[in-house]
Amino acid sequence: MWSILSILVENKPGILFKITHMFRSRNFNIDSISVGVTDDPNLSRMTITTYSDEKQTKQIVKQLDKMIDVLEVEQLDEQRTFYRELAIFKIHISDANASMEINKLAMTYGGKVHNVRSKSVIVELTATPHQINSFEDIVRPFGIINSARTGVAAVERSTS
Amino acid sequence: MVDMSGAEALMHSLKNEGVNEVFGLPGGANLPMYDELYKSDIRHILVRHEQSASHMADGYGRVSRRPGVCFATSGPGATNILTGIATAQADSAPMVAITGQVPVEMIGKDAFQESDIIGMANPCVKYSYQPRDPSLIPQVVKNGFYIAKSGRPGPVLIDIPKDVQQNVAPMTFPKNHNVRGYNPWIKADPKDIESAANLLLSANKPIILAGGGVIISQAFAELSSIAEMLVIPVVTTFKGKGSFSENHPLSLGPIGMHGHAEANKIMTEADCVLAIGTRFSDRSVGTFEEFERDLSIIHMDVNPAEIGKNQTASVAIVGDVKDSLQSLAKVLAVKVVKRQETEWLKHVQETREYWHENLKIHPGEMSSHHILHKLRDVLPPNSLVTTEVGQHQMWASLFFDVISPGTFFSSTGLGTMGWGFPAAIGAKVARPDVPVVDIAGDGSFNMTENSLATAVLEDIPVIVFLINNYSLGMVAQWQRTFYDRRMIGVDQKHCPDYVKLAQSYGAHAIRAESLDEIERALKDALSSDVATVIDIPIDPEEDVLPFVAPGTSLKDMILPS
């Protein structure tokens, strides 16, 4: 089961280490992680995604909640959550046709094309992890020279 | 607001927390705090190795239920103290460990005697601080003590760079803690209490499994009251040993790898378990599958993360154990008119009698069984007992009955050899009015026996009841049992001679080779005002039995042939 956890923590040095170390020491795994300061400079929000069964997920939430620097932890409902990840792909292009095709694919996925050169192109994509995986599969035959992903950032959608 | 150095503020803050004793060893990076300690009226108890400082603070904390305080310098001092911190964390003991650190500008430069103790200790502390400004020290100490002693207690590390100890700043000493992400005072939900009461009353074969949480929250009277109201048997984890008087007719003693045969047997037959303050350790329950039969589990714990961690609960009661048991007793009192002696209780009593009559014990006079019964006979019931780690510890589990609840302490979570003796010293500092005995084995005692210097020079008269089989007995037993007697690394021969060793430290020392000699030695030790080692040679081949092999179920226990 893929879960999105939203964790509000004290914005202090070493918190990221403590959180990630809890996952390692308790034998859990992190699928993706993103961290950023909130509108309150004393607080940061971490978004962690993880693959685990229901029992493990509950335990992860409890272990996070137990940590003194964690102010809130919430397992977000995927259907009621707006979540995105940023991915950047540097893709090999053999000719102008390939360049055009990648441009078209990027547009289809709502991506942006940067730094077009004779041998490569950079595509920036902000989408769900599933969409990014799908794009990656499609462009793989062109040859992915390099790629980087940020991990998911998420907020719950408004209920009203 | 008043100007003072970080070290001076530290001593002032410790006094504000009611600290009268610290255990420690000075070094380069904590000299400023030692210099302030010199000026204060806080008693410093000098150790010979920092590991012992943390074990002493641990023993002090478990007995007084106030954080024991230990000091170490940076680098190796800090890493030495870490074993004791991890031990306290594993057994939820309140402790504040204060280490010196290299000056702030040297941190991260691989300076002399620099270690990243905050990083190293992260998985084995409840919380840690490294104040980089002296003015932070008063609040850090206030918060540290609050975290260490509240909720599920644990160790807090405060690592103070040397320049932060030296520098002067305006200080304000807070009256209150300010830890906003921590709320240990969860009150049990009345609906869960009601469900638990109904489940217990509808069960045919109920049992209480009492863990260390009962001892930490001092819920002895509440536990007794519920057991007696429902007339149901009580088993304990090893950490919970002595949470229920072991001479009570409803007591079956500890379960688990080294539990009583009757306790293990009855545990496997129960249909409803009221589990109190326990994490369902593998040592207590054998395999988790054992508990997947048709069994209702009511799990009571102060720590929400314990619920469902190792064992799924039918009803979970989160909150302080004492408070939760009081609520449960009130609900039960309304529902229980008068319980008769049930078929289940009759079966429990027959099972206990069967095992008492049929369990073969080592035939020699100097068997662990006889030795520990002798210790029990001679010791006043309110004596405090610690153990080292090894065979003697498990014999203590099997054969030493704890009569006064909350008087037995052992390293049960981490299983730290060398814990018992320094912990006994800490216990004696906390309670100088009662006898304190460390039930020891030679292998474990040998790891921290240099604490004899502390016990003698600081006038802390504890008794070391040394069951000496001249070997690492538990490892030897496993090599005999599981490795076809391929014995390696376990023979300690006759070195050292513990009587001569103890005498060389100025301690009292007696070798006792019969039960009569043990009795005389104990009486002598109890009246002595100096630490005493009673060296008791036994058969190195004696095993701990019954025994549940690792990874097997409670019902598969190995019995004496």
Question: Could you confirm whether B400 is annotated as catalytic?
Answer: no
Q: What is the pLDDT of residues B401-444, one digit of tens each?
A: 999 999 999 999 999 999 999 999 999 999 999 999 999 999 99
Question: Does A55 touch chain B if contact means CB atoms closer than 8 Å?
Answer: yes
pLDDT band (50, 70, 90) for residue B338: low
Chain A: closest CA distance from residue B135 (Å)? 18
B-proximal residues of A, 83-112, CB under 8 Å:
none
Structure tokens that stand for B560 in this block: 């004496």
CA dist B392 and B377 (Å) reads 17
Element (H, E) at B63: helix B50-64
Query: Do B304 and A65 make contact, defined as CB atoms within 8 angstroms?
Result: yes
Query: Do A21 and B122 make contact, defined as CB atoms within 8 angstroms?
Result: yes
Distance between first and last Cα of chain B: 72
Inform me whether the pLDDT recorded for B558 exceeds 90: no
Helix, strand, coil tally for chain A in percent (to 5): 35, 40, 25
Q: What is the DSSP string of B497-535?
A: -HHHHHHHTT-EEEE--SHHHHHHHHHHHHT-SS-EEEE
Mutation to test the B interface, candidates A27, A57, A68, most B Cβ within 10 Å: A68
Amino acid type, B101? Q
Show residues of chain B in contact with A67, CB under 8 Å.
181
Question: Does B527 touch chain A if contact means CB atoms closer than 8 Å?
Answer: no
User: Which pLDDT value is given to residue B284?
Assistant: 84
Structure tokens that stand for B132 in this block: 């980089």
Question: Could you confirm whether B23 is annotated as catalytic?
Answer: no
- Give the pTM: 0.94
CA dist B324 and B541 (Å) reads 46
Average pLDDT over residues B525-549: 94
CA dihedral over B344, B347, B353, B359, signed as positive or negative: negative
User: Which pLDDT value is given to residue B522?
Assistant: 98
Q: Phi, psi (5° rounding) for residue A146?
A: -160, 155
CA dist A43 and B482 (Å) reads 53
- Which of A18, A62, A65 is nearest residue B122 as measured by Cβ atoms? A18
Give me the catalytic one of B112, B187, B330, B523.
B112
Residues 6+ away with beta carbon under 8 Å from B490: B471, B472, B473, B475, B476, B479
CA dihedral over B523, B526, B532, B535, signed as positive or negative: positive
Contact B546, B560 (CB under 8 A): yes
Query: Do A67 and B118 make contact, defined as CB atoms within 8 angstroms?
Result: no
Question: Does B108 touch chain A if contact means CB atoms closer than 8 Å?
Answer: no
Average pLDDT over residues B504-511: 98
Strand segments, DSSP code E, in chain A are 2-10, 32-37, 43-51, 70-76, 81-92, 112-114, 120-127, 144-156
Question: Does A71 touch chain B if contact means CB atoms closer than 8 Å?
Answer: yes
Q: What is the pLDDT of residues A91-148, one digit of tens each?
A: 999 999 999 999 999 999 999 999 999 999 999 999 999 999 999 999 999 999 999 9
CA dist B100 and B160 (Å) reads 5
Q: What is the pLDDT of residues B302-314, one digit of tens each?
A: 999 999 898 889 9
- Which of B118, B123, B181 is nearest residue A69 as measured by Cβ atoms? B181
Question: Could you confirm whether B262 is annotated as catalytic?
Answer: no
Q: Which of B81, B89, B72 is nearest to B125 (CA)?
A: B89
Residue of B nearest to A8 (CA): B181
User: Which pLDDT value is given to residue A160?
Assistant: 64
User: Which pLDDT value is given to residue B169?
Assistant: 98
Give me the catalytic one of B113, B218, B349, B503.
B113
